[in-house]
Structure 1
Amino acid sequence: MDLFTGLEGQLTKMKINVCETTEPFNPRQGEDYEFQVLVNPEQIKQKFSTVFDDDQPDGTTGAELRFRVQKPQSFETELVFDGTGVIANDLLPGSNLLGTKQVESVDAQIERFKAIVFKYNGDTHAPNLLQVQWGSFLFRGKLKDLTLTYTLFKPDGTPLRAKAKCVFVASIADSLRAAQERSESPDLTHIRIQKEEETLPLMAHRIYKDPGYYCEVAQANKLKSLRRIPVGTTLYFPPIEKNKG
């Protein structure tokens, strides 16, 4: 599957959800924890970076690169806020009934957005941990930079349209990072994020080479349903010895 949803099929809007700060870090639901974009972004720019030591003695013509660290993945995108009424907000009541459109001011849209992605959380003493999802694109991290550009105004100066340039940086708990950095083996604990069109038996087959372990995985994760696992759910695949005697 391509990274992003294809041009054909049902329109899917990008969503940004606040995540739990403790394992399993699942996205929270409700208007206070979710922001759906008005218009899907035109592009997403991803960045991957590896840092090496390249010191070399004087008088030499080269050096062996020595790995130091891989920096967290990041991505950059631009979102649109519109208060002209040309674009309906699907989340507002009456937005699509009989052709009517509920108009929310640009200032109100931006405040809702900032409350989710930017506002300091007194409980965690940091901005919210976020999950960004659009089709098969799934990213978990925090907002690093936010730049607002207002592009259209009423005669009295009220903004009618704005663009938000956003830079998100991946954030992963130490426990998950340590598990992911260990070598691939059915004797080790594995962490996976549920994606679209992935099934529990398929993931069990990839890890244990046996899809029959999916029931034990479901039990270990206390799943209520095997068919309706929300996209973005963190799943734990324990060592195979814990499942089979």
Structure 2
Amino acid sequence: MALGNLFTLTKLTIEGYKDERRSGRPLGTFTAQYNPETFSLSHENVFQGQQGIGSTSGASPWSYSRPKRLVVDLVLDGTKVGYMGVELLFRRIPTVAEQIRAFLATCHEVVGDIHQPLYLKLTWGKALGGFAALAGSGGMSEPSLDCRLESVHIHYQAFGRDGAPLHAVLKATFIEQRDPAKQAAAEKRSSPDLSHRRVVVNGDTLPLLCREIYGSPAHYLRVAQVNGLDDFRNLAAGQELIFPPFDRARRG
């Protein structure tokens, strides 16, 4: 690392907030020790299956777009090999274990008063850059990614004589979390027959949400299947659900 870059290198940063709007000061922050060399960003569309017996195959109508998924490897190193002497003189380098604890506290652990992990904002670069520039024209329209941690796999690769980890790689997967109104505006859709997104609040049930959106609770099992719900009777507050369009004729 060149000395001239010590004060200009922008690090990938993850901030954790207690509210979905990500307002105020973050409750937790994790800054990458080293910026990732690569990352993957997936975009997925879901299409409705063909209905009707004996119908021929054709173009399936678009149903909704899944939230973007970001997969990134974060390297943690406790050997201090990548640092210059002047850095070691003026600041303490956190251990690998300390960095892992900071990541899990910010991204994964359940916070008592909100009963779920923090809402995350992931940034990397200035306002004109960040993920919007790195991902190209098909990337996020915002310079930061509002997301939640889906999973992290910690791969330990080296240990000290006392067993303390000296090197580890975090393979983290983040799921984009967009405001439903902004999502609808981005997809230029407002018709009640197009997909809707709802963030679950305490007291919500799937039949009640289906009644609100479709005018009937009849589709709750199909909505549960679309969202991969194993237990539709117990919805978690803060969970985002997708309500795809269904044929009016099939509403009960």
Shorter-chain TM-score above 0.5: yes
1:166 aligned to 2:172? yes
Shift of 1:113: 1.1
5+ residue gaps, structure 2, are 1-6, 132-143, 191-252
Q: Separation in 1 of the partners of 2:179 and 2:110?
A: 19
2:115 matched residue in structure 1: 125
Q: Separation in 1 of the partners of 2:86 and 2:28?
A: 21
2:87 matched residue in structure 1: 96
1:18 matched residue in structure 2: 16
1:28 matched residue in structure 2: 25
More strand by share: 1
1:142 aligned to 2:148? yes
Q: Separation in 2 of the partners of 1:175 and 1:116?
A: 27
| AA in 2 matched with 1:12 | T
Q: Given the superposition, is the C-alpha separation of residues 41 and 181 from structure 1 closer, same or farther in structure 2, using an over 3 Å criterion?
A: same
Q: Is this contact kept in 1: 2:159–2:166, CA < 8 A?
A: yes
Q: Is this contact kept in 1: 2:12–2:122, CA < 8 A?
A: yes
Q: Separation in 2 of the partners of 1:61 and 1:175?
A: 36
1:107 matched residue in structure 2: 97
> Which residue of the other structure, out of 60, 67, 71, is the alignment partner of 1:65?
60
1:152 matched residue in structure 2: 158
Identity of aligned residues (%): 29
1:79 aligned to 2:74? yes
Q: Separation in 2 of the partners of 1:160 and 1:167?
A: 23
| AA in 2 matched with 1:168 | F
Q: Deviations over 1:103-129 (max 9, x none)?
A: 322111100111001111222222111
More helix by share: 2
Shift of 1:14: 0.7
Q: Is this contact kept in 2: 1:80–1:164, CA < 8 A?
A: yes
Question: RMSD of aligned C-alpha atoms?
Answer: 3.1
In structure 2, the residue corresponding to 1:126 is in which secondary structure? coil
Shift of 1:55: 2.3
Give structure 1 regions of 4+ aligned residues with deviation exceeding 3 angstroms: 56-61, 173-184
5+ residue gaps, structure 1, are 1-8, 185-245
* TM-score, length-scaled by structure 1: 0.59
Q: Deviations over 1:1-50 (max 9, x none)?
A: xxxxxxxx942111111135154x34635xx5211110000111001111
In structure 2, the residue corresponding to 1:108 is in which secondary structure? helix
Q: Separation in 2 of the partners of 1:124 and 1:109?
A: 24
> Which residue of the other structure, out of 86, 89, 106, is the alignment partner of 1:116?
106
2:225 matched residue in structure 1: none
2:35 matched residue in structure 1: 40
Q: Deviations over 1:136-155 (max 9, x none)?
A: 22211100010000011113
Q: Given the superposition, is the C-alpha separation of residues 154 and 81 from structure 1 closer, same or farther in structure 2, using an over 3 Å criterion?
A: same
Q: Given the superposition, is the C-alpha separation of residues 58 and 183 from structure 1 closer, same or farther in structure 2, using an over 3 Å criterion?
A: closer
